[in-house]
Amino acid sequence: MKIDGATRLFGIVGDPIKQAKTPALLNPLIQKSGVNAALVPFHVPEEHFIKVMGGIMSLGNLDGLVVTYPFKGKCLALVDNPSERARQIGGINAMKREPSGRWTGDMFDGIGLLRAVAVQTKVAGSKILLIGAGGAGSAIGFAFAEAGASSITINDLDPGRAEDLSERIRQSYPNCETRVGPALAKGHDILINATPIGMKAGDGLPGEIGALSSSMTVVDIVPGSQATPLLREAAKAGAKLVAGTAMTEGQASAILEFFLE
């Protein structure tokens, strides 16, 4: 990759940031596009968020930022033009400076996963079981409702959070039947684990999911190269599998399109 005085910058902001895989994913795609640009990590200490972000966003050769934990909600307040999707979810994971100097923000967590799942199975008309109603779960729920899922059953350790997400999706997509329910796989076409369960050694399944079947698509957004307990169980049942790496790769391509459009 050629770096010179004319190179435009994209960044990724988070606290911490050393775990970020986005630079390794996006820089080869940027190079392949032929654009003279590079993406670099910025460690923004949370206690200095406002001060540091003001400086970064003032850089004359910065064209966009990827946003990761814990700033997705905070960065929503920094952009001039949040997408409708970002407003629904309450956060962004990418923001870009327009030629006018104003900033546009969008959320691609759900879109990235949707792209990966759509390769395996038809989403429109499907019945979804979504385990986890946090930030990632919210983005995923809205993305799958927008893509035409017929129903989404939401399960979370906090029933109030699950009900809140269910109601928000219902208001935006009334044709998608949303409900709060148990984490039982039976009766669903696609099961999605949007919790961190499976990330640590010794973790089990993200709930008492019951029997899996070969007709299902089972998704686990937990990152890493090792199969999670959920994916191992799904493999035994002969289900279609979508791992967290597929979601990350889908996000990367969607964010680059957003930056360069």
Q: Domain ranges for the chain, please list them.
A: 8-107, 110-248
**Does residue 245 surpass a pLDDT of 90?**
no
Query: 110-248: same fold as 8-107?
Result: yes
**CA nearest 89: which of 21, 156, 164, 159?**
164
Q: Is 134 strand, coil or helix?
A: coil
Assign domain 110-248 to its CATH superfamily.
NAD(P)-binding Rossmann-like Domain (3.40.50.720)
**CA nearest 138: which of 93, 105, 200?**
93
Q: How do strand 103-106 and strand 94-97 relate by DSSP bridges?
A: antiparallel
Neighbouring C-beta atoms of residue 20, cutoff 10 Å: 19
* pTM confidence score: 0.85
What pLDDT does 246 receive?
86
What pLDDT does 225 receive?
64
**Hey, what CATH topology would domain 8-107 get?**
Rossmann fold (3.40.50)
Q: What is the pLDDT of residues 144-198, one digit of tens each?
A: 999 999 999 999 999 999 999 999 999 999 999 999 999 999 999 999 999 988 8
**Does residue 56 surpass a pLDDT of 70?**
yes
Q: What is the pLDDT of residues 190-238, one digit of tens each?
A: 999 999 888 888 889 999 999 999 999 999 998 776 789 999 999 999 9
Q: What is the pLDDT of residues 84-139, one digit of tens each?
A: 999 999 999 999 999 999 999 999 989 999 999 999 899 999 999 999 998 889 99
How deeply is 47 buried, as exposed, middle or buried, from its count of CB atoms within 10 A (0-12, 13-18, 19+)? exposed
- The yes-or-no answer on residue 72 being catalytic is yes
Of 72, 74, 127, 236, the active-site residue reads 72
**CA nearest 22: which of 86, 52, 75, 65?**
65
